Structure 1
Amino acid sequence: MAGLLGAGSFVNYIDRVNLSIASTPLAADLHLTPSQMGFVFSAFLWTYAVLQVPMGAVIDRIGVRWAMRCATLLWSLATVMTAFAGGLGLLVAARLFLGVAEAPVVPAAWKATGYWFPTNERGMCTSIFDGASKLSMVLGIPAMAFAVSRFGWQAAFYVTALISVLYAVVFWTLYHGPAQMRRKGWLSEAEHAYILDGGAQVESDARAEGYGDVIYLLKRRKTWGLAAGFASYTYCYYVLLTWMPAYLERQLGLNVLSSGIYASIPWLIAVVSEFLIGGWLVDSLIRRGASPTKVRHVVLVVSMVLSLGVVGAAHATSLVAVLGFLSLGAVGLAIAAPTASSIVGLIAPQGSVAALGGIVNCVANLCGIAAPIVTGIVYQQTGSFAAAFLICGGVAFAGIISYVFILGRITQIPERPLLYG
C-alpha cells in the first residue's frame, strides 16, 4: 500500500516537474516573460489549493478508492491538454485543470495511511509517499530533459500522460481498504488485527457530516500550527521545484540537459536522507520508547533549520557551492515533509483525517502559489535569484516558530460534539 501510494505521488510530481524542464523552450516558443512563466508555474496551485478543504470532506464521505479512481483518469487528460496549448491562456487553463484532477491525492493518501498503518510505522510510510515525489525529480528531471532536448517541449507532457494512464490501471486494480482486503482474503486476520491494535483508524468510523468537521477543525489551534508549518515547507519546496532548473541555466549558463542532470543531484541526496531520518530513524526511536512528541518536534525543527541552507545559494557562484547549498536545503525540506505529514493522522479526530489533511494542504498550497510568482518577479526585476532565496530563508524560519509554539504537543484533537455547528 505504501508503494502504491508512493507511485501515485511519483506520477503526480512528474506531472509538475515536466513544466519546469520544458519552461525555457516553451517560453521561447510561446513568447512568455519570466513573470508570465511564474504565473504558469503557479496556475496548478490555484485550483489545487482551493479544492483541498472540500476535497478532504468529500473523501471522508465517499472514501479513498473512488476519489482516486476518478482523479487518475482526469489528471491523465489534463497532462495531454498541456502539450496542445498554443498560448498563455490555454496553457494556464490546462494547468488549472491539472490542479483540479490532482487535488484528492494528498488528503486521500493521508487518510489511507491512517487506515493501513500502525502509528509506529507511519514515519516510513509517509517517507515513501513523500520521498517518491522527490524521486520523481531524481529520475524525472533527467528523463524529461532528455525528451525535451531531443523531441521538443511537448514530449515531456506526452511521456507523463502515458505514465499517468498506466498508474490509473494499476490503482483501479489494486487499491482497497483493509476491511475489503480482509474480506477478499488478501489480508490475514492477524495482520488486520496488528494494524488496528497499533492505532490505525477504523474505516467504519468515517463520519457523514464532513463539512461540520471542517468548521470544527478550523477552530483548533493545532490545525493552524501544523498548517502554518507545512506552508513554510511548501513555499520553499515550490521555489526549488519550479525554478531550480531555470536557475542553473540562467545563473550558471548550463543548457537544458545539463541543468536537468545537475538539478537531480540535490533531490537524490534528499530522498536518501528522507528515508533514513524522516522514515527509519523516527519510527525506530518511537518503537524504542522515545516520546513521539519530542522525536517529531526535534526532527521537524532540526530539518527546517537545515532547509535554511537555500539561503547560501543566494550568493554562491560556483557549481559545486550552488549544489552544496541547494542539497542542504533540499535535505531539510525532505526530512520535514514526512514527519509533518505523519502528524495529520495522529492528531485528527476519528473519521476526520482527510478533512484535516485537506485544511493543512490547502493552507500550505495557498502559500505555495506565491512561491513561483514571487521568484519570477524577483528574477525579472533584479536579474538574480539571490533575493528569492533570502525570502525562502525567512519563510522557513517562520515555519520553525509555528511548529514549536503553535502546534504544541502532538496529541489527538478531541472529537467534535455531535451538535457542534
Structure 2
Amino acid sequence: MNGKAGNVRWSIGGLIGLGVIVNYFDRVNISVATHPMMNQFHLSLGRVGILLSAFSWSYTVMQIPIGSILDRIGIKWLNRIGIILWSLATMLTAVAGGMGIVILSRVLLGIAECPAFPGASKATGYWFPLRERGLATSLFDGAAKISNVLGIPLVAWTMTMWGWRGGFWFTAILSLVFAVVWWIWYRDPEEHKKITKEELEYIKEGGAQETGAPEDGVLRSLGFLLTQRKVLALTFGFAAYGYAFGLLSSWIPGYLETQMHMSLLKTGAYSVVPWIVASVADVFIGGWLVDKVIRSGRDASKVRKTFMAIGMILGLTVGLAGFTKNPIIAIIWITISLAGLSMFAPIGWSLPSIVAPKGTVGIVGGIMNFLNGFVGIVSTILTGYVAQASHSFAGPFILAACVLVVGIFFYTVVMGRIEQIQR
C-alpha cells in the first residue's frame, strides 16, 4: 500500500537528511581548521578544546527552550529562520580577526542550529509510520556521518586552495542555498500540497505522531516528563553516546595531525574512512535492518534495545585507539567504534517520537539533546587538556569507553519497555 499511496514522505526524509549534511558542514569546518587556527592565533591544545566546544555552549543551553518552541510554532518556520542565522554565523567566523570573534561566531552558530535534531526527530514522527521510523530516522542521523565523509575532505581541499577562511565562506554560501530549498519544499503532512489522501491516511494509521502543541502547556509537560523513568533513561543513556561521539567528531583530525603528525590533506583522507563505515552502519543496520527485524514480528522494544546495546559495546573500542603509534591501526579502532555508535544513534533518536506523549516530542528531544550537548562540551574541552598534559590521547579515549558502559546500563536496565508514555 505504501508505494501506491505516494512517496512525498520520503522526499521530506531526504530533505531533512540534506539539511543535516549542510548543517554539519558548518560544524566540521572548525575541526578541519584546527591546525591552521592554532598557527595563526597561537593556540595551545587546551585552548583549541575551548574553541571546539564553543558551539556546544549555546547549543546545549537552548535545547529545552527550543524544544518547547518547536512544539508551539512548528518546524517549518523555526528552521527557516535558523538556517539563515547559521549561514550568517559561519560568515562571521570567516572574517574573524581573533579567537574572541571566532568563539562568538560559534556561540551564535549553536543557537541557530539547535532546532536541527529535535526538529528532525519531530518531523520524522509526523511524517512516518512506526514501521518505517528506523530507516526514516537513519536518513537524518546517517546524514550527520555522511557529512563528515563529504565535508572533511571537501573543506580540507577548500582550505588548502583558499585558506581556512575560504572553507568557512564555502559552507556559509552552501547553507544559504539550502535555506531556499527548505523554504520551498518543507510543510507538515496536513498542509503539503503534493501529498495524496491515501498517503496521509497511511502515515496516520501507521502510528505517526499527531501535530499540535502540548495539551497541558509547556511547563506542566516539562515537569511531568522530568519525572518519567523512560525520559531520564533515554536522556542519560544518549548522553553517554554523546560523550564518545563528541570526542570523535571534534578530535579525529586534530588527533591525527598532532599525535600522528599528518598533513592537512592526509588527515582529511584518513578521517573519511571511519565516517564512510559509520554512514553505512547508521542507515543499513540502525535503520533498515532494525525496521526489517521488527516487521518480521519480533518484539519492537526488545529489538531496539538489543541493537542499541550491541552498538554501544562496539563503541567501547575507542579506548584502544590511543595506544598505537600506527595510524592505520588507530583508524581501524576508531572505525569500529564509530560504526557501533552510528548503528545505535538512529534508534536513540527515534525514541522521542515513540515514547513522548502527544505534542511533546520537541520537549523530550530537547531534554535528551540538552544533556547530550553538555557532555559534548565536557568531552571536547577535557580531551584537549588531558591530551596536552599527558602528550597522548590514550586517557581521553579510555574515559569515553567508561562513559559508554554507563550508557549501556541506562538503556538495558533503567529504560524499561520502549513505548509511549501515558499521561
Give the TM-score band, short-chain normalised.
Answer: over 0.9
After TM superposition, give the deviation of residue 212 of structure 1 in Å: 2.1
Residue among 309, 318, 322 paired with 1:310: 318
What residue number does 1:372 align with?
A: 380
Q: Is 1:40 the counterpart of 2:51 in the alignment?
A: yes
Aligned residues: 412
1:122 positional shift:
0.8
Q: Which of 62, 71, 76 in structure 1 is aligned with 2:87?
A: 76
Cα separation, 1, equivalents of 2:248 and 2:221:
34
The correspondence for 2:362, drawn from 338, 354, 362, is 354
**Residue 291 in 1 paired to residue 299 in 2?**
yes
Q: What is the 5 A alignment of 1:115-194?
A: 115-181=126-192, 184=193, 186-194=194-202
What does the per-residue CA deviation read over 1:183-221, in whole Å, with 9 as the maximum and x for residues that have no partner? x2x111111000000000122465472232112111111
Identity of aligned residues (%): 42
Match of 1:342 among 350, 363, 374: 350
Asked if structure 2 preserves the Cα contact closer than 8 Å seen for 1:61 and 1:208, the reply is no
Q: Distance in 1 between matches of 2:212 and 2:265?
A: 50
Aligned pairs for 1:210-225 (under 5 A) are: 210-225=218-233
Give the aligned residue type for 2:267: S
Q: Report the Cα distance in structure 2 between the residues aligned to 1:41 and 1:47, rounded to whole angstroms.
A: 13
2:99 aligned to 72, 78, 88, which one?
88
Confirm or deny that 1:333 pairs with 2:341.
Answer: yes
Amino acid at match of 2:138: S
SS of equivalent to 2:259: helix
The aligned residue for residue 98 of structure 1 is 109
Q: Which runs of 5+ in 2 are unaligned?
A: 1-11
1:50 corresponds to which of 61, 72, 77: 61
For structure 1, the residue ranges without an aligned partner over 5 or more in a row are 416-421
Q: Which moved more, 1:265-274 or 1:146-155?
A: 146-155
SS of the residue corresponding to residue 152 of structure 1 reads helix
8 Å contact from structure 1 (residues 344, 357) kept in 2? yes
Q: Which amino acid aligns with 1:198?
A: G
Residues 56 and 107, structure 2, Cα contact 8 Å, conserved in 1: yes
Name the counterpart of 1:419.
none
What code does the residue aligned with 2:340 have?
Answer: G
Secondary structure of 1:171's aligned partner = helix
Shift of 1:35: 0.7
1:28 alignment partner, one of 39, 42, 55: 39
One of 107, 110, 125 as aligned partner of 2:121: 110
Q: TM-score, normalised by structure 2?
A: 0.96
Contact 2:72 2:212 survives alignment (8 Å): no
Per the alignment, do residues 205 and 100 of structure 1 end up closer, same or farther by CA in structure 2, a change over 3 Å counting?
closer
Aligned to 2:402: 394
TM-score of the superposed pair, with normalisation by structure 1: 0.96
> 1:13: which partner in 2?
24
Q: Does 1:279 align with 2:287?
A: yes
Q: Once the 2 structures are TM-superposed, how far is the Cα of residue 253 of structure 1 from its aligned partner?
A: 1.5
1:404 shift after superposition? 1.1
Alpha-carbon separation, structure 2, partners of 1:215 and 1:205: 16
SS at match of 2:275: helix
Asked if the contact 1:60–1:208 (Cα under 8 Å) also holds between the matched residues in 2, the reply is no
CA offset at residue 374 of structure 1? 0.5
Task: Determine the C-alpha separation between the residues in 2 that align with 1:288 and 1:306.
Answer: 25
| RMSD, aligned α-carbons | 1.0
CA distance in 1, matches of 2:309, 2:252: 24
- Matched to 2:351, the amino acid is I
- For 2:218 and 2:42, the matched residues in 1 are separated by 45
1:319 offset after TM fit, Å? 2.0
The alpha-carbon deviation at position 150 of structure 1 amounts to 1.9
**For residue 199 of structure 1, what is the aligned residue in structure 2?**
207
**Aligned AA (1:370):** V
Superposed CA offset, 1:149-172 (max 9, x none) = 221111111010011001100000
- AA aligned to 1:376 is G
Contact preservation (8 Å) 1:127, 1:274: yes
